[in-house]
Chain A
Amino acid sequence: MVRSHNEDSIASDGDQGLVVLADGMGGYNAGEVASGMATTVIITELQQLLEKRVPYEIDAHSGQLVAHQLLHEQIAKANTSIYQAAQSQPQYAGMGTTLVVALFYDNKMTVAHIGDSRLYRLRGGELRQVTKDHSLLQEQIDSGVITPQQARQSQNKNLVTRALGIDPIVEAEIHDYETQPEDIYLLCSDGLCDMVSDDDIGLALQTLSSNLKLCAQHLVQTANDNGGRDNISVILVRVLRDYPAPRSIVGKMMSWFK
């Protein structure tokens, strides 16, 4: 039994330092419609906005970091588009999607996520899960009902507590992290992490770090070898070198006096 069509959707823009991954849900082909809408809205809108806006500045009106503001706004926009399509067209009723977005700028990344698609970081040979799923299992782990080891045996996988396009308003979880050269970031749908243990993901990222394309193929292949029947999507990002924000001389001098 294999899923006959792909409900996952991915998009990336290396120049803007932007990667987006979505795992759709909903009957017939609604899942792929929802995930496709999410990645398209977010990547195209952000590409345009990042031409004009500087992600590391503070927005004068809201007092928020521009990166956060842009992500909040565009995720809300994608949510509204999917929600309205689901409301107005019966074949799309109930569709939704998970989402994970990473925006890299100024030696930092801002990560926004909704649902159980994940972002992992490999640094110094150590793999760490950066995002925390919005799922029933994660809530059970947090409240101590089950252990992370037991969670792997659970029949309650795939139950997300937050998704894009299901309600008129959704709140994405947004956090900032500093990045270092040689870091490798993995964005993936649950098709990967349900089938491949964190240890094996870490081993693959470490041993195949010099060839990310092969690494991505290997991860997908391992999930399939392990009996994976869900769609599997992975995006790998390597930080090649420092990318500090281009600040003016005056700005630099000001920061020395602070």
Chain B
Amino acid sequence: MAKLILSMDGLVLKEIALTKERTTIGRKPHNDIQIDNLAVSGEHAVIVTILQDSFLEDLGSTNGTVVNGQPIKKHFLQNNDIIELGKYKLKYVNEAVAGQAKAADFEKTMVLRPGSVKAATAAPAASAPAGAAAAAPVAAAAGARNLSDTVAGQTATAAPVAPPKPAAAPQKNAALQLLSGANAGKELDLTKPLTTLGKPGVQVAVITRRPQGFFITHVEGASFPVVNGKTLDAQAHSLNDHDVIELAGVKMEFFLKT
């Protein structure tokens, strides 16, 4: 459940849980959050809460509403946003975000029936038992008529994925320098998540940029890429600084940039 922490000059005045669909903020006493200060308009702003999401809207107040230093008309509140009304500050805390790691069924898909918004916010039933994480191998169902070929891949997410936050792209940058061929000496920065090398229809490999580093994988063609004189198989191969790759008759060096 999201809440607001009202403070002035660093002094916490009170906490307000956002339980209602509309939580009004203003100077007049009928507001849900009354702030008796002349800088605050009678009906200053409203927070509309839809399940786990809250939206702040300025109601045409005289002095405006500021979030994280920016004046706003309408704003989709994010965890730890600071709303400023004159001298007062309201910090938005969404514990659904903060406590996400401990929620057992954080990403359960649920059905929302019309008119049952309240029910949908209630915690869903029994969570999954901690069984063996069965990683279904990528199943290839390659069928072909004169129509289409299909490939299907599926996983049960395997192995503990430690960080709850998306892992960032690798810190290091890398590039390839061509060592032979017409463009020898040229450098190619590996900034994209995927960079293909080679000639389509002849031999193609791809370099993927992942949080763990850079990997080279064979894509198409009869011959596989060669790294440091060794021919690769169909598996992704982790690249190290100064590895030499040979592909479609061209040599190139992989190196990390600082």
- A13 sits at the interface (CB 8 A): yes
Please, which residue of chain B has its CB at the minimum distance from the CB of A222?
B193
Distance, CA A207 to CA B159, complexed state (A): 28
Q: Which of A13-42 contact B (CB under 8 A)?
A: 13-15, 17, 19, 23, 25-29
- Please tell me which one of the listed residues A94, A157, A225, A238 contacts residue B149 in the complex, with CB atoms under 8 A apart: A238
Q: Chain A contacts of B195 at CB under 8 A?
A: 207
> Please, which residues of chain B bring their CB within 8 A of the CB of A29?
128
Which residues of A are found within 8 Å of B193, using beta-carbon distances? Answer: 200, 203-204, 222
Q: Is the CB of A161 within 8 A of B167?
A: no
CB atoms of B143 and A212 under 8 A apart: no
Interface presence of A236 (CB below 8 A): yes
Q: Cβ of A55: which chain B residues have Cβ within 8 Å of it? A: none
Known contacts A14-B143, A14-B144, A14-B149; is A227 also within 8 Å of B166 by CB? Answer: yes
Given contacts A4-B128, A158-B107, A158-B109, contact A12 B138 (CB under 8 A): no
Residues B131 and A4 in contact, CB atoms below 8 Å apart: yes
Query: Within 8 Å CB of B108, what residues of A?
Result: 25, 158
Cβ A233 vs Cβ B157 within 8 A: no
Chain A residues near B182 (CB-CB < 8 A): none
- A162 to B114 alpha-carbon distance, docked (Å): 10
Q: Is the CB of B104 within 8 A of A1?
A: yes
* Cβ distance B106 to chain A, nearest Cβ, rounded Å: 7
A19 touches B109 (CB 8 A): no
Q: Which of A62-70, A72-80, A148-156 contacts B (4 or more CB under 8 A)?
A: A148-156
Q: Which of A121-129, A213-221, A247-255 contacts B (4 or more CB under 8 A)?
A: A213-221
Contacts of B11 in A (CB 8 A): none
What is the CB-to-nearest-CB distance from B156 to chain A, in angstroms, rounded to a whole number? 4
> Contact partner of B110 among A154, A159, A214, A224, CB < 8 A?
A159
- Residue of B76, B124, B134, B167 with highest tally of chain A CB at under 10 A: B76
CB proximity of A206 to chain B, nearest CB, Å: 9
Contact of B206 with A208 in the complex, beta carbons under 8 Å: yes
Whether B196 lies near A207 (C-beta < 8 A) is yes
How far, in angstroms, from A28 to B143 measured CA to CA in the complex?
33
A194 to B142, CA, bound (A): 27
Q: Could you say which residues of chain A place their CB within 8 Å of the CB of B208? A: 218, 221
Residues of A within 8 A of B220 (CB): 210-211
* B144-169 interface code vs A (CB 8 A; 1 in, 0 out): 11111111111111111101111100
Q: How far is the CA of A150 from the CA of B50 in the complex (A)?
A: 14
Query: Do residues B109 and A161 form an inter-chain contact, with CB atoms below 8 A?
Result: no
B21 at the interface (CB under 8 A from A): no
Distance of B29 from chain A, by nearest CB (Å): 29
State which of B113, B124, B152, B210 has its C-beta within 8 Å of the C-beta of A236: B152
Given contacts A140-B50, A218-B208, A229-B161, contact A159 B120 (CB under 8 A): yes
The docked-state distance in angstroms from the alpha carbon of A218 to that of B219 is 11
Residues of B within 8 A of A14 (CB): 141-145, 147-150
Check A27 against B141 for contact (C-beta < 8 Å): no
Q: A104-B147, A158-B108, A243-B146 are in contact. Are A2 and B152 (CB under 8 A)?
A: no
Contact of B155 among A15, A136, A162, A220 (CB under 8 A): A220
- B138: which of A135, A208, A216 is its contact (CB, 8 Å)? A216
Report Cα–Cα, A94/B125, bound state, in Å. 9
Known A-B contacts A150-B76, A210-B204, A210-B219; the reply to A230 vs B107 at CB < 8 A is yes
* B112 lies within 8 A of A233 (CB): no
Quick one: CB contact mask for B224-247 with A, threshold 8 Å, 1 for yes? 000000000000000000000000
A98 on the B face (CB < 8 A): yes
Once A3-B107, A153-B78, A231-B155 are accepted as A-B contacts, the answer to whether A240 and B196 lie under 8 Å apart by CB is: no
Q: Judge whether B109 and A25 touch: CB under 8 Å.
A: yes
Instruction: Known A-B contacts: A5-B134, A236-B150. Give 5 more (CB < 8 A).
Output: A12-B143, A29-B128, A210-B220, A225-B210, A239-B148
16 A-B residue pairs with CB within 8 Å: A2-B161, A6-B136, A10-B152, A94-B125, A154-B52, A154-B53, A156-B52, A203-B192, A203-B193, A207-B194, A207-B195, A235-B150, A235-B152, A237-B149, A243-B145, A243-B147
Interface positions of A (Cβ within 8 A of B): 1-6, 8, 10, 12-15, 17, 19, 23, 25-29, 94, 96, 98, 104, 115-116, 135-136, 140, 145-146, 150, 153-163, 166, 190-191, 194-195, 200, 203-204, 207-208, 210-222, 224-241, 243
